[in-house]
């Protein structure tokens, strides 16, 4: 459910041409069923002229409730449509978690 909330809020705020919200909690040392670690790929021309830090801050602002209530980590990959095309629709792989795996 948290993934869907994040998706809905980002769609409303940024009108993305591409949005991918991936729950990567299973890759971390958290209880099974946790929704605490997410990778977000957000492509929006609202980012034109914005520095990376500004883009991330605007996302943190939109997701402030989720970040205050259980979401521990967001891996953000933000692009304008031109930047995304230069990336050839590829996103860097997430690094392995130092405490990889799940708690029993």
Q: What is the tens place of the pLDDT at every residue in 59-74?
A: 999 999 998 988 878 8
Distance CA 22, CA 3 (A): 7
Distance CA 70, CA 67 (A): 6
Distance CA 13, CA 102 (A): 33
Annotate 52-64 with b (16+ C-beta within 10 A) or e (fewer).
eeebeebbeebbe
> What's the pLDDT tens digit per position in 28-44?
565 565 677 789 999 99
The pLDDT of residue 104 is: 38
What is the value of pTM for the model shown? 0.82
* Cβ neighbours for 103, distance < 8 A, ≥ 6 positions apart: 29, 30, 31, 32
**How much is the average pLDDT of 41-63?**
97
Domains belonging to the chain, first-starting first, are 2-81 (3.30.300.90)
């Amino acid at each position: 459910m948290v993934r869907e909330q994040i998706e809905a809020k980002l769609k409303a705020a940024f009108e993305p041409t591409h949005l991918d919200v991936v729950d990567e909690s299973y890759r971390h040392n958290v209880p099974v069923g946790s929704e605490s670690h997410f990778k977000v790929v957000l492509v929006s021309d609202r980012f034109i002229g914005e520095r990376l830090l500004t883009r991330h801050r605007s996302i943190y602002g939109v997701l402030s409730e989720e970040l205050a209530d259980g979401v521990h980590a967001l891996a953000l990959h933000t692009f304008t449509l031109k930047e995304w095309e230069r990336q050839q629709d590829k996103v860097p792989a997430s690094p392995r978690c130092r405490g990889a795996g799940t708690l029993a």
